[in-house]
């Protein structure tokens, strides 16, 4: 299936988009290492579903905003095959508020998880991938990082920052055969968007060219393409998975 004997770290794989990415990469033969901040049971469910594809899969408790946790996560992943070929920075949170009411904590929590967490993982991965002269990295950004969104100054800044990191990493690591791309999902049905009232979701669906919200699998398919050999000449790109919203 194309990813046999490769190890993929997918952060935040317990549910939503992260789980769909773990399952998709496992179905393509990759060993999976995922992490969770709070949801141990959900992450364990994900890895047991991955194992049904005959791959090795483990879930590690690691808060991506903690440098020590991220180092421990990568060390655990290396124990599986000795190498890490794929990184998907998926873990993310929202703490929405209008700027006038946004607290320092709301700003910091989102930046620390979505941006600093990705930075720690990118640094840990690049060290290992450069040694191997091979790597495939996908950062899960957002359409909000491209277009902005009222009430999401913190989230938009983190997701736009991820795009900047993606393009810089592509330039820095391309000569070592490491690609780095971003996926920018639109509205995808997960716990993150379930909090929205039904009438708001209907309004959103009307604003999307394809007239519906996306699924976690839609995003997973894009991430899987970007880590596959079919995408070996694609780097520094932002692939929108948004039903035509943008
Ligand atoms: P969910 O809220 O459903 O899941 C988020 C996942 O991230 C959970 O598994 C959670 O684990 C994990 N996570 C959160 N904080 C941390 C942390 N500090 N350390 C480790 N893991 C953490 O989100 P989605 O599946 O909807 O979103 C996944 C990614 O896609 C996010 O980056 C999000 O910003 C992005 N995205 C989502 C869109 C959508 O419409 N849903 C649109 C555009 C982008 P735990 O349960 O243990 O906390």
Per-residue confidence (pLDDT) for residue 196, from 0 to 100: 85
Nearest residue by C-alpha to atom 44 in ligand 1: 142
CA gap 112, 84 in Å, rounded? 24
18 Cβ inside 6 Å of ligand 1: yes
**What are 40-62's pLDDT values in tens digits?**
999 999 999 999 999 999 999 99
State which residues form the domain around 48: 7-241
Domain assignment of residue 1, yes or no: no
* Structural domains of the chain, count: 1
Taking the complete model, does pTM exceed 0.85, yes or no? yes
**What are 57-112's pLDDT values in tens digits?**
999 999 999 999 999 999 999 988 888 999 999 999 999 999 999 999 999 999 99
Domain assignment of residue 34, yes or no: yes
**What are 182-229's pLDDT values in tens digits?**
999 999 999 988 888 899 899 999 999 999 999 999 999 999 999 999
Domain assignment of residue 2, yes or no: no
CATH of the domain at 77: 3.40.50.720
Atom of ligand 1 nearest to the CA of 143: 43
Domain assignment of residue 174, yes or no: yes
20 Cβ inside 6 Å of ligand 1: no
Domain assignment of residue 201, yes or no: yes
């Amino acid at each position: 299936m194309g990813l046999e004997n490769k190890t993929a770290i997918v952060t935040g794989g317990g549910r939503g988009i992260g789980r769909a990415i773990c399952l998709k990469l496992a179905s393509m033969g990759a060993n999976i290492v995922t992490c969770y901040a709070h949801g141990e049971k959900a992450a364990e469910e994900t890895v047991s579903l991955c194992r049904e594809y005959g791959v090795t899969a483990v879930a590690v408790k690691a808060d991506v905003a903690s440098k020590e946790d991220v180092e421990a996560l990568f060390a655990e992943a290396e124990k599986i095959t000795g190498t890490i070929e794929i990184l998907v920075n998926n873990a993310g949170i929202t703490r929405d508020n209008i700027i006038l009411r946004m607290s320092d904590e709301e700003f910091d929590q989102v930046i620390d998880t979505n941006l600093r967490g990705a930075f720690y993982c990118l640094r840990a991965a690049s060290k290992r991938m450069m040694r191997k002269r091979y790597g495939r990295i996908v950062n899960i950004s957002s359409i909000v990082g491209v277009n902005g969104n009222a009430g999401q100054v913190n989230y938009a800044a983190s997701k736009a920052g991820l795009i900047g990191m993606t393009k810089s990493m592509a330039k820095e690591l391309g000569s070592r055969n490491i690609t780095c791309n971003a996926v920018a999902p639109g509205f995808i049905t997960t716990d993150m968007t379930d909090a929205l009232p039904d009438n708001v979701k209907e309004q959103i669906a009307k604003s999307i060219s394809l007239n519906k919200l996306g699924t976690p699998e839609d995003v997973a398919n894009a991430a899987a393409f970007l880590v596959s050999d079919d995408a070996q000449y694609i780097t520094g790109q932002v692939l929108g998975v948004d039903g035509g919203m943008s």
